[in-house]
Structure formats: C-alpha cells, structure tokens
Structure 1
C-alpha cells in the first residue's frame, strides 16, 4: 500500500541507510512516482521536507520531547529516569530510543496492532495534536496513534511531528531534486516554484501536473533565505565586483509588510512576530507599500549593537514585558529586498535591489545597512577590524551583480569571520555517521570538566556536539582508539572513557537552560585532536562562564564614525 505511512517510514529509513546523495534521491524518486493520489504526493513531500505541517501554515504540533518521552515510557511500562533517559543518552536520540524500546519490550508490543495508516490518517492525527492544548490530551492522541503503528513508523511520526530534520541525510534541497527527477523537470524551475509558493507539497503536485508556471508568490509565507559561504571555503582570487557590509551579531529575519499587517520570520522559517512588538509597531506606522525585507534583528542601546546573547532574552517570549523591552531594545536593520508592490524582485541584481531598498529607506525612514566599496584584501582587513570593534561578527562580501539565490550557499555572498574562541574538551560519546561516513563513528559529544565544581557530582558534562574539522586519517585513528575506550553501547552510540582531548573551535557561547551546563557552543568543530593532553587539561565550566561574561561586558565602538547602518528617521 504505497500511500501508507508505513511505506513513507520505510522509504525514510532506506534513505537513512544509503550513503550516496544520488542514491538517496533515486529512492525518493521511486517513492514519489508510486503515489497516484495528488493529496498523498503533497503530504509525502511535506512530511519528508517540511514536517507535520507546511511551513506556510503557521501550525505546530507543540509536543515537547518530555511530553512524548514520558508518554513512551508509560506506554512501554518502564521507569523514565532509570530506563528511558539512559537509553536516550546512549543513542543520542529520543526517537531512536523509542523505536528500540517499542521493538524490544513485550509490554509495548502487545499494545500495538499495526493498521497500515494512510498518510491522510496521520495528517488527521497531527491536526488533532494541533487542536488540543493540554499535555494529557496530547499524550492520549499519541497513545491512540502509536497503538496502530510499527516501531519504525513511531520513530518517523515523532521526527516529522517535531518539524525538524528527519536526520537521514536528506534535507529539503534533496527533496526538491527528487521532485524534479521524478517528474522530468529542471531542478531550478522546481526550486523557484518552491521558493515562491513556500510549500514543497504544492510544488510536487505542480511538477507532476506540468503546472509549475502556476506557482505564485503570496505575502506572509516565509521565503528560503540566501546563504553565505565562509570565504576560506571558496577560492576567490579577486574581490572586484564585491561590496562589504558588517555582519551583525543579531538574528537573521525576514519581514513581510502589507499596510498595518507586519510579520517576522526566523531563518528556520518560524513565526517570531510576537517576540518583537515594537518592531511590528514601528513598521506598521510607516505607510509602506507591500514589501518583503531581509535583515537582522539586533539589540541596540545607547548607540551600540549589543551581543546576540542579550537578544536571547527576547526570543521565545510571546509577550515581552515592559521592563524586558526597555532593558533589551531591538531594531530591525534591512539589507535586502525580495518583494515590492506585487512583484518578486529576487531576479534583479543586488545593485538594483539595493537601489530600491535605499529609496524606500529614505522615503519611509527605516534602518538599512551601510555598504562599503572593496579595494582589495588589505581594505577588507581594515573593514573587518572595524566591524569587530563595533561588536559585530565580521563582514559580508556580496557580489553587486548577483541575484537573490534563495536557499543556496555559493560565491555570491561570502562571510569573513574569526572563531569566537576555543576550549579543550574531552570525548564523551561517539555517534555512528551516515552517508559517506557510514561505517565510522564521526559525530561526537564533547564535555568540559566539573570535577571540582560543587554544583555537580560528575567529572565531565556535555558542552556540545561536533562532526567536522578533522581529516579522514584522523577519523580513522579516532575510531581505532575509541574501540579501547568504549564502556557502553546502545545502537549507533558508544559511551566512552573520557580520555581523548579535543581542542574545539566555536563561533559563540549561548545560554541554554535545557542543558546540564546551561550553555551550548554555536557551530563547534574540531580544531585539533590533542593526543599530547590528558583529561586533567580539559577546560572547566567556570572557563565557559568566564568567556561568556567577557563577551557580554567588553567595550564596543559606538555607531558614530563610519557606522555599520544608517537610519534617516533618527
């Protein structure tokens, strides 16, 4: 039954177990072609690429990991603290742990009678989760649905419900490629349709019906963001034709405006309007034409852009209080224009888009970035140092003649940054890789020392996960050493004796109260495997706290001389 959720789950699992990207796409192509019903095709593409709900729907199941994890523990009749949590820690994944428990515990097996639920029935289950609000009602829905599913269905039901990555090495770009190949369309045409409709499900149906030309843009659904490549990863001999902007220490956002209606979306296409009411009020009062702006939300106070960590105080708050808004005032600074007066403008060059944006900014008085002509690498170095002095992350270099390459990471936008810092950490867990790293342990959980910290009983606690920054030879050597250090194994995860020290490089330190350390590292990666060091040399949680505080308190250059943005309304 090709329209069953079981078939989708098996397809996802087959993709997860396949190494090459082309082979993964081929599996998805076969699956898409097997779906005869338009609604099933739309749901299949949506479930694989976006989650339980289309990204333009604004809906979320709003089921937290503790809600479905405790529900699974009750379903399996096991102790959440003593059995479930150790399983989850060992596997590094709640959904993976739930799949294994459902498969191996007799009490869970006898409660389930797989019913080959259709994609439509699973959609109805997600809709019910959206409609109910209490944990009790959500858990009842989960139990009722799980009784009709196999373990692999339950695993992917949870991952799809969470609206995140399915963690099968197959993101939205690959889903789009599979749609194009399945229905003999150009990838670029399918990508464009997905960009302006905001719905991968609708894009799949339009592709099969030879109706891609019917795709049209509507305000108030988020568009895929253009991405930047690290300048080190792209060979750029000449900087001729590039302009520079300072890279703000803020939150990338997209703003849609039509009359009094203003909506904000984050880079992961989530709705964040409610966290920033003063931005909404400001732009609603401007009398703007219908537009979509790409820009950055920053904490801006006393003529300084303050660090991202302070912006976190505003994020996730549905109704920030007056004191919070006064303490952490925010500003939306635009640097690109995607839509103007009923017309998408992504196909215009940056120079042309910038011309329109500048005119709008002057007419309606809202902040936009300053751009600086680039006169060689030495000049870039000078601009970079000034950006750092302002408290910004670095520079963005952008080609003046580039179009808006939504969802792409090419040479048109380059980011010039330096690491936020390094820490000496210890390997705590090793997780099996996928794709070309299949057969190796290539993803690692790293820890810091708390053995002299009275707040903790452990010697080490996790501070981040890293899966890059080492060579293939180093990975092989790591895997050989890991064999001798393994003390527990559950599925694809190994628990290790903490002996291997890694100098970890990262972009930033962020507060995260859901972790044992209360902090996480942004974009951690291996800088060096320190075979010469021992666990005694590992940095401590106190070191992390000190580094975080130093960034918060460091002096910043006022936005006075050569500012990184301008605002004609001030």
Structure 2
C-alpha cells in the first residue's frame, strides 16, 4: 500500500468531527487493505503509534533530529523551519510547506509505501550507541527526499506520535467491529487481552469472530489493567459495590509482572515495559515465585523500613539507564 494513500485518507478524516462517521470511514478504508502487514501498520499509524505501548522499541527521534533531516532534504535552514512552526503551530504542516518549496533536487525518487516506512522505523528503533543519531537523521532525510508534501505532513506527525485525527481506542474498536461485522464488545475483549489493535484487526479480518474468541492471555503481553473508579463519597461506593474489602494503601505505583519462559517482564499501569527500572523486583520474583504466572500489584520503594513517596519509583521509570546509581541512594 502506498503511504500516499494513507496520507490522503488522513487528510480526509482530519476534517471529520463526528465519531460515528470517523469509525465508518476507517472501517471502509481498512476493509479494503489486502496485505496483513499493511493492515497491522495502518491501524497503529492512524492512532499515532509505531509500536504497541508494551513494546520496548522506540524511535528515539525528537524535534531536533527532524529539523536536521528537513534541512538536508529541503535546503531550508533552521531559522526558516522555526518561522514556519511559529506560523502554523504544527511541525507536520511545516514539513508539508517545506516540501512544497524545497530547493534540493532528487534524481531518483522512490515511492513511499507503508512497508518502507515500517522498515525504516524498525531500523531506527534498533540503532544505539555512537553514530546512531547521525544514522537516524540520514534515514529520516531519505524518507523526506521520497515524500510528497502531504506524505511529509503525516510522516512527521506519526514520528512525533501526534496525528491530530481524533482517532482514539473507541473509534478504532468500532471501526474494526463494523469492517468485519463483529460485536464491538468482542473486539474490546480482544484488545484488552492483546493491547494491540493492529493484531486485533488482522485476526478479525482473517479469522472473524471465532479468531477473536480464541485469543487468550499470554505471558509477556500485558493485559489492560482494571483501574479504580471515582465515587463522590464512601457510602455511595459501598452501596454500589455491596460487599467491600478495605486495606491500607501504600504510596506506590501499579505494576503487572509476567514471570515465565525463563524471564521476568514488568509493565507499568500504562503498559510500558519498565523491567530495567526495577532490577530488585526481578530478582525477588525469580527467588520467591514459581514460573508461569502473572502478578498484578503495587511496587513500593522502602528505605530503612519506611515507605518512600511514589515519585521515587517514577524517577526510576524515567531514568531507567541510571538505575544502579539510584539503587545506592
């Protein structure tokens, strides 16, 4: 599938405010995609995602790298790029305008496809260490060299994870249900188990209702967590719930631990892989828990027998590559 077709579809639905119409348009669009990989990628891309939330891979591309790639591909200097951003408030539109007025010439332009964009994204996410930033800039510049203005707009937004289409989980769920005539509740269940709408769409298209019903909880694929609901007062909550249990709440952070196949994986409440941030928990699980289990609980930081504020753990999540130093503190 050409990336241009995807970009043009995004341009069309960006103007739609009705959630029902959005779901219907997306249903029609994805139903016409024949290739499984294209279908998988398009569903994720529409939501502004390159990978499912639990996947450790990330592009590692910020605004600065995009600036440099656009400079190489279009000949525009940083000042011109920043002026466009001030005028538009959108780096995607800025990329579109720069491509329309680019001074650089390309002798051999390759049409962008969904598969090519995925290939480049996967390559970028694998790059680490010295020289990785320059390599990412070169890969991005090559994409922009091949892109039309409208492709550059949505390519840039996708890289930043800000498609600005108003396409959330509910709309994608309803679109998949409508595309293949399946109850939205079953699509919702499949998503809660896999947390990957791309996979849900492929299964729905190829195997239908029965395929979705066969999806089961898997180790190292996080299950969507049940979160607390807000009540106006305690008596109202007790009346609604009937029999209730009450326990002390320590100031920690919610995690889901998967232990099986010789490894431990830990996910945050947002389903991000935070295993590297909690090496002590990994060791404790391996020592004290039998394999092939999924645990849902709270991680609490302790010092000298007393709990620390949960911000201590959040700092671990944000600085997962400096965990050794933080453990000493």
The TM-score, its normalising length taken from structure 2, stands at 0.84
C-alpha change, 1:254 and 1:87, in structure 2 (3 Å) is: farther
**C-alpha separation in 2, matches of 1:16 and 1:227:** 31
Q: Does 1:119 align with 2:105?
A: no
Any conservation in 1 of the 2:54–2:267 contact (CA below 8 Å)? no
1:219 counterpart residue number: 219
Give the equivalent residue in structure 2 for 1:107: 103
Change (3 A) 1:310 1:90: farther
Deviations 1:402-423 (A, max 9, x none): xxxxxxxxxxxxxxxxxxxxxx
SS at match of 2:300: strand
Give 2:92's aligned residue: 95
Evaluate the alpha carbon distance shift between residue 317 and residue 102 of structure 1 in structure 2; reply closer, same or farther with a 3 A threshold: same
* Residue 201 (structure 2) pairs with residue 199 (structure 1): no
Higher helix share goes to which structure? 2
- 1:426 corresponding residue in structure 2: none
1:38 paired residue number: 36
Cα deviation for residue 90 of structure 1 reads: 5.2
**Whole-angstrom distance in 1 between the partners of 2:66 and 2:137:** 7
The residue aligned with 1:508 is: none
Is the contact between residue 59 and residue 124 of structure 2 (CA under 8 Å) also seen in structure 1?
yes
- Secondary structure of the equivalent of 2:73? helix
Query: Does the 8 Å contact 2:53/2:270 carry over to 1?
Result: no
The Cα offsets for residues 226-255 of structure 1, whole Å up to 9 and x where unpaired, read as 23443359xx57344244556654433221
Q: Is 1:189 the equivalent of 2:176?
A: no
Q: 1:90 and 1:243 mapped to 2: Cα distance?
A: 55
Gaps of 5+ in 1: 328-570
- After superposition, the CA RMSD in angstroms is 3.0
Task: State the secondary structure of the residue aligned to 1:204.
Answer: helix
Write the deviation string for residues 501-546 of structure 1: whole angstroms up to 9, x where unpaired.
Answer: xxxxxxxxxxxxxxxxxxxxxxxxxxxxxxxxxxxxxxxxxxxxxx
**Residue equivalent to 1:230:** 230
Deviation of the 1:168 alpha carbon: 1.7
Inter-partner Cα distance in structure 1 for 2:229 and 2:241: 17
**Residue 8 (structure 1) shift:** 1.6
Q: Which secondary structure does the structure 1 equivalent of 2:82 belong to?
A: helix
- Counterparts of 1:261-410 in structure 2, within 5 Å, are 261-320=263-322, 322-327=324-329
Q: Structure 2: how far apart are the matches of 1:112 and 1:250?
A: 57
Deviations 1:188-214, CA, capped at 9 Å, x for gaps: 111222222343222112112222233
Question: 1:30, 1:182 within 8 Å by CA — same for their partners in 2?
Answer: yes
Name stretches of at least 5 consecutive residues in structure 2 with no aligned partner: none
Residue of structure 2 in register with 1:454 after alignment: none
1:112/1:280 CA distance change after superposition, 3 Å: farther
Greater Rg by CA = 1
Equivalences for 1:236-275 in 2 at 5 Å? 238-241=239-242, 242-244=244-246, 249-258=251-260, 260-275=262-277
Out of 81, 84, 97, the position equivalent to 1:84 is: 81
- Give the drift of 1:14: 2.4
Indicate conservation of the 8 Å contact 2:73/2:145, yes or no.
Answer: no
Contact conserved, 1:112 with 1:147, CA < 8 A, in 2?
no
Query: Which residue pairs with 1:141 in the alignment?
Result: 139
Paired residues, number: 320
TM-superposed deviation, 1:278: 0.9
Paired residue secondary structure (1:184) = coil
Cα distance change, pair 322–203 in 1 and its aligned pair in 2 (3 A): closer
Q: How far is 1:106 from its partner?
A: 3.5
CA distance in 2 between partners of 1:113 and 1:188 (Å): 48
> Residue 49 of structure 1 contacts residue 200 of structure 1 at CA under 8 Å; is this kept in 2?
no
Change in Cα spacing, 1:84 to 1:174, as seen in structure 2 (3 Å) is same
Deviations 1:466-508 (A, max 9, x none): xxxxxxxxxxxxxxxxxxxxxxxxxxxxxxxxxxxxxxxxxxx
Higher strand share: 1
Contact 2:16–2:22 under 8 Å retained in 1: yes
Alpha-carbon contact 1:257-1:263 (below 8 Å) kept: yes
Name the SS for the 2:5 alignment partner.
Answer: helix
Q: 1:240 to 1:176 in 2, by over 3 A?
A: closer
